[in-house]
Amino acid sequence: MTTAEPMTATPADTLPLRTELERQLRRRRTQVTFGALALLPGILAAAFAIGGSDAGGAGLIELATHSGLNFTAFCLLMSVGFLLIVVVALFFGDAIASEASWSSLRYLLAIPVPRGRLLRQKAIVSAGLSTGAILLLGAVALALGTLLYGADPLVNPYGDALAYPTGVVRLLLGLGIVVVGLSWVAGLALLLSVLTDAPLGAVGGTVMIAIVVEILDQVTALGSLRDLLPGHFSFAWTRVLAPVIDWPDIVTGAFSSLAYACVFGLTAWTLFARKDITS
């Protein structure tokens, strides 16, 4: 009679995505982030209720209470420039740096979790959380906006209208464009997370660089050089609000963001593979 040999876990089986996702979902920072994004549409709706909505004009802000679709577009417009950057920077900047700050990184690698797998699993879960947070904002804004302002067509600043079902599809497409447009922030935050043992430094550094990029984008003296900035096309998603989508800026912005994300990500991968882990 022979005894079965004990099963041993291979490095490829370590740190499964489900385990890492459950671990991140239990963290207070994840719960607070998702909660804040879910509350944001309600806060904006309350601001309209208190201050009134007849501001005049025909911009996305002035049209915010025209329908639930317009309210959703307004919430996205208010969030893309800063809040969503912070959210993405938080999830990716915290990925490796938090393990180092807790002195648990070396123990993870000693399980052993291969460095490449650890970075990949962390990046995938961070991407999932970031995407989920952005979709949550859109879903709550649409549900609340439709409840408060009705299911009328989406009206853009030029007076064009999109029927409600078409508008929902366009806004979903817009959310996807926003996710892709923020990929450069994700790559940068992951790189800084590898370079520092302080999560706040990685997150804060990413946000600071994003702010500098936005400031440079406002300097018209730079001319066409601004097109090379990673955040130059951050509002290209608004092109989906027109009856006929204007694709050039969307495609260019997506390519630019993904290119920066690849450069930052590959640099993070290379540095992490060579880094002397002491934390």
**Cβ contacts of residue 90 below 8 Å, gap of 6+?**
29, 33, 203
**Is residue 8 domain-resident?**
no
Q: Per the structure, how many domains does the chain have?
A: 1
**Is residue 6 domain-resident?**
no
Concatenating the DSSP letter of every residue in 10-79 gives -GGGSS-HHHHHHHHHTSHHHHHHHHHHHHHHHHHHHHHHHH-S---S-STTTTTTS-HHHHHHHHHHHH
Full domain range(s) for residue 83: 16-49+64-274
Amino acid of residue 197: D
Per-residue tens of pLDDT for the chain, all 279 residues: 444 444 445 666 678 889 889 999 999 999 999 999 999 999 999 998 887 655 555 567 788 898 999 999 999 999 998 999 999 999 999 999 988 888 788 878 777 888 888 999 999 999 999 999 999 999 999 999 999 999 999 998 888 899 999 999 999 999 999 999 999 999 999 999 999 989 999 999 999 999 999 999 999 998 989 999 998 999 999 999 999 998 999 999 999 999 999 999 999 999 998 887 765
**Is residue 194 domain-resident?**
yes
**Is residue 218 domain-resident?**
yes
**Is residue 56 domain-resident?**
no
Max Cα-Cα span within the chain: 87
Residue 278 CB neighbours (<10 A): 9
pLDDT (tens digit per residue) in 249-259: 999 999 999 99
Task: Kindly list the distances between the CA atom of residue 272 and the CA atoms of 9, 118, 119, 193, 269, in Å, as whole numbers in the listed order.
Answer: 23, 10, 8, 10, 5
**Is residue 181 domain-resident?**
yes
